[in-house]
């Protein structure tokens, strides 16, 4: 009487052949995301503060008037922002809608393309400037060069979440392909992107297997591949059991015949 061997080796081989590529992708993308430093990926080194410190605190008294005028407001912030070729105090009002108000008159303000250009250059942090140079990019000889400026009103860019629209996309002509996104309503810096972030985002897309939005970690095929990976591990464990436990018993079985 002969002991019938397990078929785990064949199952394991086919599972590994069919789904091993994704296992390799998980390993590579996981390693890449661990090696890359998140502060660098977020592009913190690409930007700097563009607003000046608030100098007219008397405007704070108008916050009550803002709250009365806009009862849906959940947050009111007083900032000193470069608008209309000069710094002026404005209220950034967040609520059901985002608004920008003149701090003195409480009249709504409109951010123009010219304002966006000026603000983007101030948000942009020069990386080749001398160490003793002023922090403001406008105040040194390393003024950034804007390569492209575009108003975004529809969620077409994977680099920017739809909740931030409308926004201005400002691309700079530098080696990092820096792109700043500014709110079209307030001129606030929404986020910044560069080549390293785009590489990280590509790795993240492959890792979570969300090839469209790159944000959903509950995709059914991700769950399916996870379960199949577990099956590969189980079949591999069965091979170990077959090799180190079953074979000695089969040898004893043959010797006893």
* Tens of pLDDT, residues 82-139: 999 999 999 999 988 999 999 999 999 999 999 999 999 999 997 654 444 444 444 4
- Do 166 and 95 share a structural domain? yes
Q: What is the pTM of this model?
A: 0.77
Is residue 185 situated within a structural domain?
yes
Q: Give yes or no: residues 109 and 214 share one domain.
A: no
In whole angstroms, what is the distance from residue 8 CA to residue 184 CA? Answer: 60
Asked if 154 and 115 sit in the same domain, the reply is yes
One domain for residues 16 and 99: no
Is 127:145 a contact under the CB 8 Å cutoff? no
Asked if residue 110 and residue 73 are part of one domain, the reply reads yes
In-domain check, residue 246: yes
Residue 213 shares a structural domain with residue 145: no
Over residues 187-203, the pLDDT tens digits come to: 999 999 999 999 999 99
Let me know if residue 78 belongs to a domain.
yes
Task: Tally the domains of the chain.
Answer: 2
Write out the residue range of the structural domain in which residue 77 sits: 44-127+136-193
């Amino acid at each position: 009487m002969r002991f019938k061997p397990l078929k785990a080796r064949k199952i394991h081989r086919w599972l590994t052949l069919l789904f091993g590529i994704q296992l390799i992708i998980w390993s590579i993308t996981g390693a890449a995301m661990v090696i890359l430093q998140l502060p660098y990926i977020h592009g913190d080194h690409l930007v700097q503060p563009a607003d000046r410190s608030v100098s007219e605190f008397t405007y704070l008294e108008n916050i009550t008037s803002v709250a009365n005028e806009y009862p849906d407001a959940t947050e009111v912030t007083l900032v000193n922002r470069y608008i209309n070729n000069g710094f002026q105090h404005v209220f950034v009002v967040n609520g059901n809608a985002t608004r920008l108000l003149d701090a003195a008159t409480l009249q709504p303000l409109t951010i123009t393309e010219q304002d966006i250009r000026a603000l983007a250059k101030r948000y942009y942090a020069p990386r080749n400037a001398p160490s003793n140079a002023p922090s403001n990019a406008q105040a040194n000889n390393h003024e950034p060069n804007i390569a492209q400026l575009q108003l975004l009103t529809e969620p077409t860019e994977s680099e920017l979440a739809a909740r931030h629209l409308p926004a201005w996309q400002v691309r700079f002509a530098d080696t990092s392909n820096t792109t700043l996104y500014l709110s079209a309503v307030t001129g606030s810096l929404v986020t910044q992107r560069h080549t390293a972030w785009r590489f990280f985002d590509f790795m993240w897309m492959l890792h979570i297997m969300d090839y469209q939005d790159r944000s959903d970690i509950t995709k059914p095929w991700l769950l399916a591949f996870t379960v199949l990976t577990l099956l590969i591990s189980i079949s591999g464990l069965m091979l170990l059991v077959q090799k180190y436990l079953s074979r000695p018993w089969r040898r004893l079985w043959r010797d006893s015949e």
